[in-house]
Every structure is written in structure tokens, then in C-alpha cells.
Amino acid sequence: MKNKIHLKTASLVAALLAVVMAVLGLGMTALPASAAELTDAEITLRTESVVSSQWDQVDLTCEWSVPDNSRPGDTFSIQLPPQLRWFGVTSFDLQNPDGEAVATAMANDSGLVVFTLTDFVAEQPLNVGGTCSFSTQYSVDPGDSEIEELSFTVGSTVLRVPVDVQPCTSECGPSLPTEAGKAMWWVDPAQTVLESIFYMPPMPARTNDVVITDTPAAGMEIDCSRVTPRVGRVLNDDGNITEPYANEQYPASLDCTPQKLTASWTGLPEGLHVELYVVTQVTDPALDVYENSGTVTISGEETPVSAQTRRSSGSGTGNGTPTPTPTPTATATPTPTPSTATPSPSPTTPTATSTPSPSASTTTPTATASATPAPSPSTATPMPTATPTATDEPIVVTTEPLVAGPTENPSEPAAEAPEEPLANTGSQGAAFVFIAAALLAVGSLLAFAGSRWSSRRSH
């Protein structure tokens, strides 16, 4: 009885394992092929940017290509050097002339730019390549060097791109502004936030009243929680006010809405420096140019100021060609020309010639007729039949196609170069299904053995 229970349990376990393995096999068979990193993609980088100070913009262009028959989802990448940070939109398409995306580019905060091929290459897998362009910022102080090479990592290759660095060599201290002005720049690489500064010369009179107005154009709004007035006498190396500040001694009066800001000071002493920092949020990301204007009034003298900042975006092109369709070569089947058979000559029937009888004379002799009898058909001697030559054979025309035999021993067909297998092609699923079938067979044998044991025990 125990053996019977053990056989039943074993057969049930085998059947359950067979079901599990079959499900796993079918699931793995349905898995798509994994994408590959194209370490042999070719990329050429160029720049004509000149760097003179920290945060200067460095524009880069590239030419790229990937091996033939690359697949959708395959990737290649560019790692920016530590001196540069990504600047601009973090993703963009590389399109063909018809607007179809051949690849997409995505940049992360570490400066890694990953290009991913789209479904376009499935239909046009040959000669896939194009161009790209994007902007970065020089994030470190250029120092005193005149020429510096930037090292970009492309797959397992390091590309060195020279950048023209022209740092200050004389009178490099902070320069004091001689008139009021305004500057504006992007705060984040995604280009969603702008910051601007109003600057002006040191206060010219013994006592001065200052009023600043800021009016952003369409597509921008002032963030009133991020307005920073500064007053002081000490400047840093960039010419901006640094600690110790005199903000509490000479506080600013602020009147702010998303569309307009007014900041005012009264009784500022001679030689004091005044700055105003304003942060604006982008409300229309579709614009290419963002403008911000305002006025600076010192002791009743008003100076209009403005600033403009362009959006820097990545872009690129791409294209490919489809696999040519082989043109079949039509093999003409020769139509045999029927030969004209030479007819065999018909036998000539001989004609019997009669010998004329002599004329009768006065003496009646016995006339002897000597006639040559005509041969009867039964005894006629047939003419010999001519032996036909090769050209006398009749040609038999058949409607079946002619099969031309080889004129020489055929060579073995050239083996096709095996394609590089992907990380998962679904073949593992077939193995699971095979194992499931084997387990199911084992379970069936165990169940059969159990039934046989049960029948013996009952007898």
C-alpha cells in the first residue's frame, strides 16, 4: 500500500513539474530578443567653441554610423568628460528627411548620452548613420592653460577633442560696471528655469535712491519666492557682491507679481554696490528665445536694461537604406526544333515488256511467242530497304521541361556567415518544453506502474 501511495505521489509531482516547465518554456519562447550595445559604432566629434571662463557654452557636433543589420533597441553612447556638463534638453530624436526617428538620444546627469536605434532600422538596416549636435557647459575654471583636450568615452574608445581655452592673462581682477545692465542665464540643463541679475556702478552721490523694475516677456513668470537683493562693499573675483552683506542695514522694499517686480532702496551711501537677482520660471517651453526687460533708476536717472537667452537644444539626423531584393534570373528552356524526316524511297514496280510477234509469211510456220511474263504480286521481289542514318530518325517532341545536367561536378554551397546570437533568442524555451515533455512521460510511467501494483495487490 505504501508503494502505491509513493508511486501516485511521484507521478503527481512529475506531472506538476511538467506543467511548470512547459509554462516556463512557452514564456521564454515568447520573450523578445535582447538589445545589444554597439561597441563598434563609429562616432566623430568636433567643436569650434572658445572657453574663456567657467560656465562658457561648448557646442559639439558629431557624425555617427552603426554596423549594417543593427537591430531596433541597439545602443551606442558618448560619455562627456568631467570638465563639461550637459546643457539643454535631455532627449531628442535623430530624424531622416521625412521626419522619421532613426534613433533617439537621452542624456543623464552624469553626462552619459545614450543613442537608441528605433524600429526604422528593421526595414532599412544598411548604411545607418547621420549627424548630431548638442550643447554643454565648461564647468570648471579654465586656469592658465591656452589649449586643453577634452576626452570623450565612446564605447571602449577615448576620443580627444581640442577646445580653445583663452583665460584672462592681464587685469584679471573684477571690473566695475560703468553703467547699469542686466544679464540672464539658464539655471538647469533642462532649461526650465532662468536667473537674471541687475547690476550697476557704485553709488555716485552721498545719498542715493534706487528703483529697479523687472518685466518678463511672454513665456516666463517671476518666482517671487526667489528674489534676492544684495547690498555691500566687497566684491569677489567675478565682480559680484560677497560677504559681509549690508542687506539688513539697507533693506529693499519688494513689490512682486508673476508679471512684474519692483525693488527700491532709499538713502544708499556713496560707493555702495547694489545687485538684484531674479528667478523666472519658463511657462512656454516651445519658444527659442526668452527676453526680460526692465529699468534701473539711480537718483532719478533712469536706464532701460534688457537680456535675452536662447534655448539650446540637441538635434540630429539619421537615415538608412533597405536590403536590396535579389532579382531572379529567368532561365529560358530551349524549344527543340523538329527535324524534317527524309522519306524512304518507294519500291519501283517493274514493267513487263512483250516481244512483238513476227509478221505472217506465206509459209505458215509455227509462231513461237517469247513474251516476258509480268511478275505476280505474290512473287514480286521486294526492293531492298535503305538503312536509315542518324538524321533519318524522327524527333519526338515532349511537353515535359528539359532538365539540363551539370557539365561538371557541383561544388558545395558556400556556408552563410552565422549571425551573432542575441542575449536571448527564445531557444531556452524549447529546452524547457522538452524537459516538460520528459517529466510528463515519467509521470505517466509512474502512474501506470502504480495502477499495475494496485491490480496485483487486489488479486
Give the count of beta carbons closer than 10 Å to the beta carbon of residue 276.
25
**Spatial distance between the Cα atoms of 33 and 430, rounded to a whole number of angstroms:** 15
Q: What is the pLDDT of residue 459?
A: 52
C-alpha cell at 405: 545536367
CATH number of the domain located at residue range(s) 192-310 in this protein: 2.60.40.2430
Q: What is the pLDDT of residue 121?
A: 95
Among residues 195, 220, 181, 212, the alpha carbon closest in space to that of 305 is found at: 181
Contact at 8 Å (CB) between 277 and 294? no
Q: Mean pLDDT in each 10-residue stretch from start to end of the chain (459 residues)?
A: 53 55 49 73 91 86 95 95 87 94 93 95 95 90 76 87 80 78 88 94 94 95 96 87 93 96 96 96 92 94 93 87 77 55 47 41 39 42 43 40 35 40 44 57 61 56
Q: What is the pLDDT of residue 57?
A: 86
Q: Three-state SS string across the chain, please?
A: CHHHHHHHHHHHHHHHHHHHHHHHHHHHHHCCCCCCECCCCEEEEEECCEECCCCCEEEEEEEEECCCCCCCCCEEEEECCCCEEEECCCEEEEECCCCCEEEEEEECCCCEEEEEECCHHHHCCEEEEEEEEEEEEECCCCCCCCEEEEEEEECCEEEEEEEEECCCCCCCCCCCCCCCEEEEEECCCCCCEEEEEEECCCCCCCEEEEEEEEEECCCEEEEEEEEEEEEECCECCCCCECCCECCCCCCCEEEEECCEEEEEEEEEECCCEEEEEEEEEECCCCCCEEEEEEEEEECCEEEEEEEEEECCCCEEEEEEECCCCCCCCCCCCCCCCCCCCCCCCCCCCCCCCCCCCCCCCCCCCCCCCCCCCCCCCCCCCCCCCCCCCHHHCCCCCCCCCCCCCCCCCCCCCCCCCCCCCCCCCCHHHHHHHHHHHHHHHHHHHHHHHHHHHHHHHHC
Q: What is the pLDDT of residue 99?
A: 94
φ, ψ of residue 342 in degrees (nearest 5): -85, 115
The answer to whether domain 42-165 and domain 192-310 are alike in fold is yes
Among residues 419, 424, 432, the alpha carbon closest in space to that of 32 is found at: 424
Note every long-range contact of 429-432, with CB atoms under 8 Å and residues 24 or more positions apart, other chains counting.
Answer: 429/24, 429/25, 429/26, 429/27, 429/28, 429/29, 429/30, 429/31, 430/25, 430/29, 431/25, 432/21, 432/22, 432/24, 432/25, 432/26, 432/28
Residue ranges per structural domain of the chain: 2-31+429-458, 42-165, 192-310
Note every long-range contact of 88-91, with CB atoms under 8 Å and residues 24 or more positions apart, other chains counting.
Answer: 88/134, 88/135, 88/189, 88/191, 88/311, 88/312, 88/313, 88/314, 89/190, 89/191, 89/313, 89/314, 90/189, 90/190, 91/314
> Which CATH fold topology does 42-165 show?
Immunoglobulin-like (2.60.40)
Among residues 279, 289, 286, 312, the alpha carbon closest in space to that of 107 is found at: 312
φ, ψ of residue 48 in degrees (nearest 5): -125, 15
